[in-house]
Amino acid sequence: MLGALLGGWPGTALPTGLPLLGPAPALAQATLDEATTIRVYERVSPAVVAIETRTGGGSGSIVEASGLILTNAHVVGGERVVTVRLTDGRTFQGDVVGYGENRLDLAAVRLRGNPTNLPTVTLAPPNSVRVGQAALAIGSPFGLQGTLTVGIISRIDTERNLIQTDAAINPGNSGGPLLNRDGQLIGVNTSIFTTGRDGGSVGIGFAIPTNAVQSFLAAVRSGQASTTAAAGRSDREPAAITINGPAVQGRLDDNSNILPDGSYYNPYIFEGQAGQVVTIEMNSTDLDSYLIVVAPDQDDLYVQDDDSGGNLNARLSLQLPYTGSYLIFANAFAQGETGRYQLRVIDQSSAGNPGLVPGQSGNPQGRILQQQGRLGPGDPTLSDGSYFQEFPFQGQAGQRVVIRLSSPDFDTYLLLVDEAQDIVAENDDANRDTTNSELAVTLPRDGIYTVVVNAYDSRGQGQFFLTVE
């Protein structure tokens, strides 16, 4: 993830027209020094609890000194009473007193026994989180209470109201706090993209931000919170899907996994080769299709699409940067949306493919990458408020590539970044008569390169068409 977009790339000239959050290189400011990490842990960890149920467990944060615990709905499940273990060894029974509405993955537990003067976690102000800032997670991964992991905020999905982080979040971290460098709770860790029930983090975790947390806690304290647990699961194993195989017939419903925003998804896995060009299509007449692709052994690949397939369909085309496994998440855009879909993965690397025009799927021979998409709300933003998306490809030293970005809706801005997150090239307008962008570059070394699709200013949003040849 290009968290460095918020602060420039160390060792390179900064892109013109891209205001920064602070002096370059700002990414270094996200690195926590040892004293800060220790201070946050010693201050907050006593207020982070382990929650045990008859079938599993997770973590939680004490938010009131009298024993109100904030956690995930999927941690407590449908149980009315859970066991809560404090870091000082004390154990309490706790009553589940509220669940988030509309499948929001939050729950509240009130400890029995009238405890007093318990340590608490302080909530950060709403909307105070920024991409690139440091993030710390405390919880009980795999039952190991009081475990600390550190990372950054990788992305903020304002449309779905989710925080994405690369801080390691593993089974058992669910319900625990995601913290800023001041020890304030900026989110409730709720899920990860993984390879199954017992799989660990692949560097992509999600947390529910404080604006949703504060609304939920207000409902709990006023007695207005729901007392009914929503059905759902998060442990469905990825099903194998074959490149150029028959289309998979799937269905999103209560048997599917659930993202923190309440949308269903089914996971799939396929094997690919570095440099292979694939198109992934999800088609449905029942639901608004949403595709997400990640590499489980890497944390720098996250590609998504909503409407590039036309109508309710989603389509992604990309050159695979690694040899190995790739995860596809067949998702619905809306909360609780159900229905049938078809999913297929097509190899576009072989010769004989027809030429490509905008709106068609596939890559012609010689084309490294093509993507038609939409830039706008839900995408990460730079400090000037302009939206951006990232598309990786495998390159070789001395290889000549031409990158073109066009849009009928906004003034485009194009960047090419290498594995070290250094800018290789950038462009605003291909010529004085157009707002489209173009780069012709000789790649300096072997490795993974990332094309950054950006709007010139915060007003820019709409359809775009990207090619790398």
Q: Read out DSSP for 413-428?
A: EEEEE-TT--EEEEES
The CATH number of 236-359 is 2.60.120.380
Q: How far from each other are the two terminal CA atoms of the chain, in whole angstroms?
A: 23
- Domain spanning 368-469, CATH architecture: Sandwich (2.60)
Question: Do 108 and 96 contact (CB within 8 A), yes or no?
Answer: yes
CB-based contacts of 173: which residues, under 8 Å, 6+ apart? 58, 59, 137, 139, 140, 141, 147, 149, 189, 205
Tell the burial category of 327 from Cβ atoms under 10 Å away from its Cβ (0-12, 13-18, 19+): buried
Residues labelled as active-site residues: 74, 105, 174
Q: Are 70 and 106 in contact (CB under 8 A)?
A: yes
Contact 67, 118 (CB under 8 A): yes
| Count of H-run helices and E-run strands, the chain | 3, 30
Express each pLDDT in 181-211 by its tens digit.
999 999 998 865 544 444 444 456 789 999 9
Q: Do 122 and 185 form a contact (C-beta atoms < 8 A)?
A: yes
Share of the chain above pLDDT 70, in %: 82
Confidence of residue 45 (pLDDT cuts 50, 70, 90): very high
Mean pLDDT of the chain: 80
Q: Tokens 């973590």 identify what position?
A: 59
Q: What's the mean pLDDT in 262-291? A: 90
Lowest mean pLDDT among 30-44, 90-104, 174-188, 454-468: 30-44
Structure tokens at 244: 């150029």
pTM above threshold 0.85: no
How many other CB atoms are there within 10 angstroms of residue 218's CB atom?
11
d(CA 50, CA 83): 8
Pairing state between β 239-240 and 264-272: parallel
Of the ranges 79-83, 392-396, 457-461, which one carries the lowest mean pLDDT score?
392-396
Q: In the chain, where does the domain assigned CATH 2.40.10.120 lie?
A: 31-227
Query: 3-class SS at 56?
Result: coil
pLDDT (mean) for 22-44: 66
Nearest to 327 by CA among 375, 291, 363: 291
Considering the domain 31-227 in this protein, what is its CATH number?
2.40.10.120
CATH 2.60.120.380 domain locations along the chain: 236-359, 368-469
CA angle 281, 158, 25 (to 5 degrees): 100
Q: Is the pLDDT of residue 162 over 70?
A: yes
Q: Which residues of 241-253 are buried (b: 16+ CB within 10 A; e: fewer)?
A: bebeeeebebbbe
- Token look-up 């609780």 returns 336
* pLDDT computed for residue 433 by the predictor: 80
Please report which residue ranges of 222-299 form alpha helices under DSSP H. Answer: none
Rounded Cα–Cα distance for residues 347 and 369 (Å)? 12
- Of 376, 367, 446, the closest CA to residue 404 belongs to 367
